Structure 1
């Protein structure tokens, strides 16, 4: 098995530089970091934390790495993970990846060094060498909410396809035709799935999707507000703005209100991902709700099966549409 000295020689750098890359040091340039990562892949180098984590006694701890702790969906899911794990006699250590692969890897490495018994990861947009090593060497690992293409890892996630079709049919019944979508990042499985479902639903309902009505955000409020502003500045603005997650919906809501527009009279608003305070707004926001708590509980159960080296299958739970008044009067 290749060691750190082999990686250094292959990349033409010092052992200290390889160490800095492994520890996410900001002192390494992007070019040098890429050389080291390429050498690690070529040599199938496994960071010590991955290998050592497979040769230890149980610690009764689990690691949870989520995309964004500020997102209410992830917060609710994390709470359920903690509750379920505690009931099973485990402690959970949480890391916030902040949607950054390098920060995700920092927490993966740290948790492995702490000898957690298993990892729950809401993966960022790409499969990093470290996560690939976890899979290759059989670390107990389960993906939560998202998946990575080509990786044989059980996942626990929600499927919003049917709910998005329900939403578009609801919008159509209310008489709307110009529907804009603030999608999530194409690199994330959830961004791709929601965009595909939206486009399919629009075609099914005979509604056109204009190029100017489709733009990708980053699952953050600022991008939702900026994209909503561009939609509303169009010569023919949309009648409905559908945001691909709750934070982007919040940003769109801020922009609509900043312009003094009324929901749904001037523009309707809908969100993927429901949050508790949507029902308290005037008007309440129509949203697709995911079973965050059940996802968290099921993920812990699947991971504990993996810890015990038992065969497991992925879990897919349905999301559902909650109709309120932000797209217009609800049907009787």
Structure 2
């Protein structure tokens, strides 16, 4: 593969001169520019996106690559990112990875080619060579919601372990003993963390998690539907299905209704990633809510700090349990009013003050 050094040798100039020509820097003589461009054409050289991102001039543009634009959680996250970036004088270009690593890398490469000042990414997996190279090259970058372990990049995320523990304890108090989970992709940090937290919370309540009560999902509705259909076909179906993502929860709800069953009379349902729609389902769905707006704003502030030469820091915010009626709760005797949000807004005033 042709490198920038090959271009420099062919043109008889330094690597720095090639870099300046490719970045359209004005301080290059016309003769050197002509020779470099001729060498690029002759050798068929394609500039490296990561290398081109290392520059001193700014475009006041940020890149955001989200995992799934159809997921209401990421839609709200993108909205808060755009609002905070605009307040700080930056524009945002958004790429939708659709939970596909190859599409994620396509967007990352394109954004770096477009000379963005920094990059916000919610990784679809933990092994993207392009993002690893970008991080090692010093590209201003922040991981939001998900992260790649071992990569030295600030992470802005929520911690759902406490909320999952609260959920399992809540279900246990309601008398549920057979709890199943629909997990996210094992390659994602959130997929791993949520199933581990669920298993630990069950153990604290003296409950097991049999293999047949684990459904592998992919954060898409169809996987939630398929996993729930398999649960319902068991000789002893679970009493509760906990979907670790809102779209999988909606898929699970579809599967239950397709069998002519009712939530929570025949099977209970709970979800991670609360969304505004959950308050309008019948029954309203008990869910774990993340401080989505604050996560987006904190991620932008961390990235701008990195771009503008300040030391960014990772941020972890707590998720919280929102009790509704999909697990057999009695609304007349709400056991924990502190966990209930205003049903008209589905927001937590303490963590989402500026959302509308």
TM-score when normalising by structure 2: 0.80
Aligned partner of 1:30 in structure 2 is: none
Aligned partner of 2:281 in structure 1 is: 281
Task: Assess if the C-alpha contact under 8 Å between 2:126 and 2:147 holds in 1.
Answer: no
The alignment status of 1:196 with 2:196, answered yes or no, reads yes
Aligned residues: 293
CA distances 1:167-199 after superposition (whole Å, capped 9, x unpaired): 000000000101110011111000000000000
Task: Assess if the C-alpha contact under 8 Å between 2:66 and 2:121 holds in 1.
Answer: yes
Counterpart Cα distance in 2 of 1:144 and 1:53 = 20
Task: Assess if the C-alpha contact under 8 Å between 1:245 and 1:272 holds in 2.
Answer: yes
Shift of 1:127: 2.6
Give the stretch that moved more between structures: 122-131 or 46-55.
Answer: 46-55
Task: Assess if the C-alpha contact under 8 Å between 1:158 and 1:291 holds in 2.
Answer: yes
Aligned partner of 2:61 in structure 1 is: 61
CA distances 1:209-265 after superposition (whole Å, capped 9, x unpaired): 111001220000000000000000101101101101000000000010111111111
Select the structure of larger CA radius of gyration: 2
User: What SS does the corresponding residue of 1:99 show, helix, strand or coil?
Assistant: coil
Counterpart Cα distance in 2 of 1:231 and 1:5 = 58
Counterpart Cα distance in 2 of 1:78 and 1:275 = 14
Provide closer, same or farther for how the CA distance between residues 211 and 274 of structure 1 changes in structure 2, counting only shifts above 3 A. Answer: same
Task: Assess if the C-alpha contact under 8 Å between 2:243 and 2:249 holds in 1.
Answer: yes
Provide closer, same or farther for how the CA distance between residues 49 and 323 of structure 1 changes in structure 2, counting only shifts above 3 A. Answer: same
Shift of 1:126: 2.6
Aligned partner of 2:349 in structure 1 is: none
User: What SS does the corresponding residue of 1:288 show, helix, strand or coil?
Assistant: strand
Shift of 1:315: 0.4
Aligned partner of 1:232 in structure 2 is: 232
Aligned partner of 2:348 in structure 1 is: none
Counterpart Cα distance in 2 of 1:180 and 1:164 = 13
User: What SS does the corresponding residue of 1:262 show, helix, strand or coil?
Assistant: coil
The alignment status of 1:96 with 2:117, answered yes or no, reads no
Counterpart Cα distance in 2 of 1:215 and 1:263 = 19
TM-score when normalising by structure 1: 0.85
Within 5 A, what are the aligned runs for 1:215-294?
Answer: 215-294=215-294
Within 5 A, what are the aligned runs for 1:132-211?
Answer: 132-211=132-211
Shift of 1:67: 0.3
Give the stretch that moved more between structures: 266-275 or 103-112.
Answer: 103-112
Task: Assess if the C-alpha contact under 8 Å between 1:56 and 1:115 holds in 2.
Answer: no
Runs of 4+ in 1 over 4 A off after TM superposition: none
Aligned-residue CA RMSD (Å): 1.6
Unaligned runs of 5+ in 2: 7-45, 336-356
Aligned partner of 2:214 in structure 1 is: 214
